[in-house]
Amino acid sequence: MRVFLAGGSGAIGRRLIPQLVGAGHQVAATTRSEAKAPMLQSLGAIPVVVDALDEPALSKAVNDFRPEAVMNQLTDLPQRYNPRQLGPFYERTSRLRIEATRTLLAAAKEVGARRFVYQSLAFMYVPAGPAALAEDAKLALHAPEPFGSAVRATVEGERLALSADGITGVALRYGQLYGPGTYFDLDGDFARQARRRMLPIVGSGGGVFSFIHVDDAAGAAVAALEHGEGVYNIVDDDPAAARDWIPAFCRDIGAPAPMHVPGWLVEL
């Protein structure tokens, strides 16, 4: 299958390209950076240097390749993770989820592509205690900003992907990514923060996280090319509370034990 991958140089994209090529697909993958084009080529993709928010350029790239399937794995997240400084990055990623999805879908229709795979989030549900949440659980559409806007944009991207005429849409709601190229990598920012005791357990640490390794996230995207439609949570089988996973993460990377801080202090 000919697959157009928007977002080939991100954490998922870099693991996804070899899996797609290994499965026999021909892949064109995008990046904004000329410097990253050789990396995409080394992974087996045809590199496409384009700004995904440049509608004419992105549409032309899809039309030139004429794919049978299109994937949106686009994000724009900082190397350093600071919740107080995420607003501008959320804003651009939200535009990628809506504007780029709209452009990709329009171009996909023009070339006769039949399948669209969209990157979504599994951590945008309203907290509901320790019970597992299914895809129909209530979404945190009115969460505090800037996360609330990010949730709404992600959901709108899902709506676009799943409602396009003549195209089967699949939205993959990924859990917290770990593995190479993520914040949890040995040289990732969460590891850096943990070594400096800047990754604390807040309050009781009862918040439950669902994780997914980037290779498994990529594998789900490969499977979505030929199977299913609609929304799927893509997480592993081991959800963990912050009071459990943060100390374990610190031990595994040789970082000091995490600090415990009250919730009110974090909100200041």
Cβ count near 183 (within 10 Å) = 19
Question: With 70 as the cut, is the pLDDT of residue 125 above it?
Answer: yes
| Residue 131, pLDDT score | 82
- Kindly tell me the sign of the dihedral angle through the C-alpha atoms of 67, 167, 10, 26: negative
Element containing residue 106 per DSSP (H, E): helix 101-111
Per the prediction, the chain carries an average pLDDT of 96
| Residue 44, pLDDT score | 99
Q: What does the block give as tokens for 192?
A: 């850096």
Within the chain, strands assigned E span 2-6, 26-31, 46-49, 69-72, 115-121, 168-174, 176-178, 201-202, 208-209, 211-213, 230-234, 240-241, 260-261
d(CA 7, CA 22): 19
Q: Of 99, 95, 116, which Cα lies nearest the Cα of 58? A: 99
pLDDT digits (tens, 9 = 90+) for 148-183: 999 999 999 999 999 999 999 999 999 999 999 999
| Residue 265, pLDDT score | 75
pLDDT digits (tens, 9 = 90+) for 26-53: 999 999 999 999 999 999 999 999 999 9
Please say whether the beta carbons of 63 and 56 come within 8 A: no
- Kindly tell me the sign of the dihedral angle through the C-alpha atoms of 79, 83, 87, 93: positive
Cβ count near 172 (within 10 Å) = 25
- Angle at which helices 87-95 and 147-163 pack, to 10 degrees? 10
In the chain the domains, ranked by start, together with CATH numbers, are 2-177+211-237 (3.40.50.720)
Q: In terms of C-beta density within 10 A (0-12 exposed, 13-18 middle, 19 or more buried), how is residue 2 classed?
A: middle
pLDDT digits (tens, 9 = 90+) for 211-260: 999 999 999 999 999 999 999 999 999 999 999 999 999 999 999 999 99
Question: With 80 as the cut, is the pLDDT of residue 118 above it?
Answer: yes
